[in-house]
Amino acid sequence: MKDAIVDSRAEQIERWVTLATVFVPLLATGLAIGLAWQRWVDWRDLAVAGAMYVVSVIGVTLGYHRLFTHKGYKCGAAVRAVLGVAGSMASQGPLFFWVACHRRHHQHSDAMGDPHSPHTHGEGARGILLGWWHAHVGWMLTHKPENYFRLVNDLVRDRVAMTVHRLYFVWGLAGLVLPGVISIAIAGEVGAFWPGVLWGGFVRLFVVHHVTWSVNSVCHVLGSRPFATEDDSRNNALVAILSLGEGWHNNHHAFPSSARHGLHWWQIDPSYLALLGLKALRLVWDIRTPSSRELIASAQRETAPAMPTAFQ
């Protein structure tokens, strides 16, 4: 009985946190659009929002994803901490939760057990729409609390990762307050705080969320499949540009441990370029990428049906 009460409370807490994560940035963005119509926005607000966007997306791509989930490269404790905090500022869940969900996604990609596949809701237009909604947002609204620590045993023993995970709400709050503080520093007046919070905090979160969530939804429906993976992961250039490289999703599923997702010179991967910059500064090392022989061996013999050019 006691366990049932605990599970019920955990489910309620997760549900409220998820609802706030999904809908508060949406409502704030609506407010921002209304205020922008009244000219309550200037270049400083947009510049701060853009900078926070890059920081938080890099935190997700290089931190949560390529480092903590797949161990695509090595770095010291300070870099791990900075990337973990930056990823937490994207407000997509505590580190261990995010990593566990993504590892399960790879274990059961586009099959039963995948937490956010768009291909488990039937055929036809209705199935496609329901699947897209589930992959993009719906899975978070129906997810049940679970003991996900068994999927992140390696991180539980990492003191930096544990600290980042436990202080998730602190980092999330910092991601809202920091742009306000930066706006004050730029404008030189206290009144710049709230516009900074609105644009660099909430509007930035809204954009970050829907861009990164598109990797789950769009990149399993639209795009090219140069590698014959067992799932329906796809490369989507538009999502790749907006997500700083994560949209080369078929590449990623073909080589999950690779820290480089854009495997060709024309596949823009800003996160990997940032990683090379960190390597030049000797802040990261042992970057994992597939060899030319591995690329050739994994290439699909027959090209999958091409999607519209804009989504290639």
Q: What is the predicted pLDDT for the residue at 123? A: 75
119-147 pLDDT, tens digit per residue, is 877 777 788 888 888 899 888 888 777 77
Q: What is the pLDDT of residue 185?
A: 95
CB of 172 within 8 A of CB of 89?
A: yes
Query: What pLDDT was estimated at residue 111?
Result: 87
299-308 contacts at long range (C-beta below 8 A, 24 or more positions apart)? 299/226, 299/227, 300/225, 300/226, 300/227, 300/228, 301/228, 303/224, 303/226, 304/224, 304/225, 306/224, 307/222, 307/223, 307/224, 307/234, 308/222
Reported confidence tier of residue 179, pLDDT bands at 50, 70, 90: very high
Q: Which of 19-23, 28-32, 108-112 has the highest mean pLDDT?
A: 108-112
pLDDT value for 131: 86
* Residue found under tokens 């605990």: 6
pLDDT, mean of residues 134-163: 87
Q: Convert the pLDDT of each residue in 35-82 to its tens digit.
A: 665 566 678 888 999 999 999 999 999 999 999 999 999 999 999 999
Query: Residues 113-122: contacts with CB within 8 Å, 24+ apart?
Result: 115/139, 115/143, 116/216, 116/217, 117/220, 117/231, 118/216, 118/217, 118/220, 118/221, 119/220, 119/232
* CB-count burial class (<10 Å; 0-12, 13-18, 19+) for 291: exposed
Which pLDDT score, from 0 to 100, does residue 141 have? Answer: 83
Q: Which residues touch 139 (CB under 8 Å, ≥6 apart)?
A: 115, 116
pLDDT (0 to 100) of residue 142: 82
Question: How many angstroms from the chain centroid is the CA of residue 132?
Answer: 17
Who's near 53: CB < 8 A, 6+ residues apart?
204, 207, 208
Tens-place pLDDT, residues 85-132: 999 999 999 999 999 999 999 999 888 888 888 887 777 778 888 888
| Euclidean distance between CA atoms 224 and 235, whole angstroms | 5
Q: What is the pTM of this model?
A: 0.88
Domain that holds residue 284: 2-311
Tally of domains in the chain: 1
Express each pLDDT in 256-283 by its tens digit: 999 999 999 999 999 999 999 999 999 9
Closest CA to 285 of 77, 81, 74: 74
More confident residue, 39 or 160: 160
CA proximity to 158, closest of 55, 93, 67: 67
Q: Report whether 157 contacts 26 (CB < 8 A).
A: no
Residue 240 pLDDT > 80, yes or no?
yes
C-beta separation of 57 from 90 below 8 A = yes
Give the Cα separation of 208 and 218 in Å (integer): 15
